[in-house]
Amino acid sequence: MQNLLVYIAYLTRYPLALIVILVAVILVWRSLKSLLFRFRGQSQAAHGFFLMSQSSEGGDVVESYSIYPTTILGRGRSNDIRFKDKNVLRRHAILYLYQGKWYVRPAVDRAVIHVNNRKVNQPRIVKNEDIIQIGDKMLVFVDERDSAEAAGQEFDGSIADWRENKIPELPVNTGFSWMLTTLFFLIGTFTIFILIPAELHSLRPFYFSISLAFFFFSQLGYLIYPKIFNDFDRVIYLCFVFLSSIGLIIQARFAFLDRLKPDDWDAVEFLDYIQRDYLIQAGVAIVGLIILPIVVKIVQSTSFLERIYPVCLVATPLFYLITLFAGSGASEWGANLWLRLPGGFSLQLTEFAKISYFIVLAYFFKIRPPLKTQLLFAGWAGMNFILIMLLPDLGSMMILLPVTLIVFVVMTSEYLKTGSLLLGGSFIFFVAYKLLPYVQNRLYGWLTLWTETNAYNEQIIFGLQAIARGGLIGRGLGVGNPRSIPLASSDMVFSVIAEEMGILTGLAILLFFIIIWLRGAHYSANVRDGFTSGLILTIATYFFIEAAVVIGGTTGLIPLTGATLPMIAKGGSSVIAKWLLVGILLGLCCRDEEGAYR
């Protein structure tokens, strides 16, 4: 009988591999089409808003200028609006849209601008028919909505209604993909259920109940949330549910299959340990689904994220400091990242520090900041990176630094400065290599990967062997040998997935993170509020970079970092922090085109 069940589990590898790659390919193709459609639509200027110039004596209008969500005015060639005026600086003023309102401010400290004959030093709201003076240029800000309302007229053109007449969306149908996602979870859960050995059969009701709870809340979210939240993105939600489904299936495999009872444990103690081990993983995923609509509602309907920026500014380094002095785990895992709590639990404050770091990053670069602001952020971020090095947490460094650089270059278009920051980041890694034996060992293991097997690269070598054994469609759930791989359920979980579920499933996992980034880029281009757009880009980029770093380390493309695969690897704090980020991302995507709250 047991042989028959194993054979059935072996056969399920075919539908699992087919389903996962089919869903990934369908969604990545449709998401890419939607993004390209959005980019074509975003090449136009802001609807119904422009500047009109008049002579310094208040003469007739001589020219009109289209404006964009962030518009740079000055004498330099790279500006959106260029004035050939000796009294105008190369980068003189910035006009930008933030939370549905237009602001103007000097681009540099020495730039002089006036609004309605009043000098402006800080961001100033501008409204219809306000006069902005830059050098000898007098610019009238025009909001055609207000002008039409004052005249009792209506528009017939493309700007008839700013809020309703948006660039049309290219809908992404997810019904078939969701059906396949559901089928994947049911097949995988059924396979684990029948493979649970006889001595653990008493845990079957527990596993069934936990799986049913996750299935219920995930289905509820897909069906109900789009009716509650405007523009709720089912593609992003589906991707994270699919990734979480893979995570629960593979972690159930670790929990219930091939478990060896220690000689000094009795049967009851062993069962309690297994039950608690899986409950932490599955429980935080279910809690994440439960709190998801709450987070989405808060982010969509309030300015909570913007208001907690000062708190995040202090909390981020504070989380790292607390971890540095009170953390533990270096002897087992190579870094002091865990705070021990009563009852045998642990907490990783560094996972929540990433959330507060992203909020600060997006707030700093919600507009193109002047050099002084950029230097302030560089000092703050540098302080955090130094604390991360001291932990040491190489994985966070290799994730946060690329995310910061990508957001910086996209939000500022400062390519030379980005290159300088990249060199600075390389210098930080060089210093870390020279000062920290932990980093030296990681790099040595990577450099000797193809020449010898040693204590610093055996983890990667065993992982690569597992990937090779799996082939395209895997050996089947429960048929692999994860016990041969150190930290198989956390750092090396990708190797186990590739061995038992196939390289196609591993490729699909990477595609899901690419889809999340594509959808994030779509909404980042759609939203005209700098903070909302920047934070969407930040979170979407973070998920992709973290997945790429983990998969790259597991497959030997880059040094192993100790980072874990989002939504899939074993973890408590990490998983709940990821679900908070998912809620924030979906909530930001639910805001309207101006970034205003609904």
The CATH number of the domain where 57 resides is what? 2.60.200.20
CB-based contacts of 132: which residues, under 8 Å, 6+ apart? 51, 93, 95, 104, 113, 114, 115, 126, 138, 139, 140, 141
Q: Average pLDDT, stretch 481-492?
A: 84
pLDDT for 277 equals: 85
Pairing of strands 118-120, 137-143: unpaired
**Domain span holding position 336:** 2-39+168-589
Q: Are residues 34 and 56 in the same domain?
A: no
Q: Could you tell me the pTM of the whole model? A: 0.82
Do residues 247 and 568 lie in contact, with contact meaning Cβ atoms separated by under 8 Å?
Answer: yes
pLDDT for 449 equals: 84
pLDDT for 155 equals: 47
pLDDT for 188 equals: 94
Q: Are residues 207 and 316 in the same domain?
A: yes
Q: Which residue has the higher pLDDT, 358 or 409?
A: 358
Q: Does residue 364 carry a pLDDT above 50?
A: yes
pLDDT band at 442 (very low <50, low <70, confident <90, very high): confident
∠ CA 339-344-346, rounded to 5°: 25
Q: What are phi and psi of 396, to 5 degrees?
A: -65, -40
What does the buried/exposed string (b/e) look like for 76-104 if buried means 16 or more CB atoms within 10 Å of the residue's CB?
A: eeebbbbbeeeebbebbbbbbbbbbebbb
Q: Does residue 598 carry a pLDDT above 80?
A: no
Q: Does residue 430 carry a pLDDT above 50?
A: yes
Q: Which residue has the higher pLDDT, 489 or 430?
A: 489
57 domain residue, yes or no? yes
pLDDT for 164 equals: 38
d(CA 141, CA 371): 26
Pairing of strands 81-82, 70-74: parallel
pLDDT for 135 equals: 84
Q: Which residue has the higher pLDDT, 97 or 195?
A: 195
Q: Average pLDDT, stretch 122-130?
A: 88
pLDDT for 97 equals: 74
CA dihedral 279, 187, 291, 296 (to 10 degrees): 150
Q: Are residues 568 and 504 in the same domain?
A: yes
Q: Six-digit token pair at 167? A: 């660039």
- Which amino acid makes up residue 86? K
Q: What is the DSSP letter of 344?
A: G
**Domain final position from 146, 177, 209:** 146
Q: Average pLDDT, stretch 133-140?
A: 88
pLDDT band at 7 (very low <50, low <70, confident <90, very high): confident
133 domain residue, yes or no? yes
183 domain residue, yes or no? yes
∠ CA 170-176-179, rounded to 5°: 135
pLDDT (tens digit, 9 = 90+) per residue, 373-385? 888 888 899 899 8
Q: Are residues 94 and 21 in the same domain?
A: no
Q: Are residues 269 and 396 in the same domain?
A: yes
376 domain residue, yes or no? yes
Q: Are residues 140 and 282 in the same domain?
A: no
| Packed helices 394-412 and 437-447: angle between N→C axes, nearest 10 degrees | 90
595 domain residue, yes or no? no
Q: Are residues 428 and 466 in the same domain?
A: yes
pLDDT band at 121 (very low <50, low <70, confident <90, very high): confident
Question: How many domains does the chain contain in total?
Answer: 2
pLDDT band at 144 (very low <50, low <70, confident <90, very high): confident
pLDDT (tens digit, 9 = 90+) per residue, 33-66? 877 766 655 555 677 788 988 655 555 557 888 8
Q: Does residue 419 carry a pLDDT above 90?
A: no
pLDDT for 60 equals: 58
The three-class DSSP label of residue 71 is strand
The CB-side HSE value for 471 (13 A sphere, CA atoms) comes to 6
Q: Six-digit token pair at 231? A: 């523009």
The three-class DSSP label of residue 442 is helix
pLDDT band at 226 (very low <50, low <70, confident <90, very high): very high
Q: Are residues 8 and 136 in the same domain?
A: no
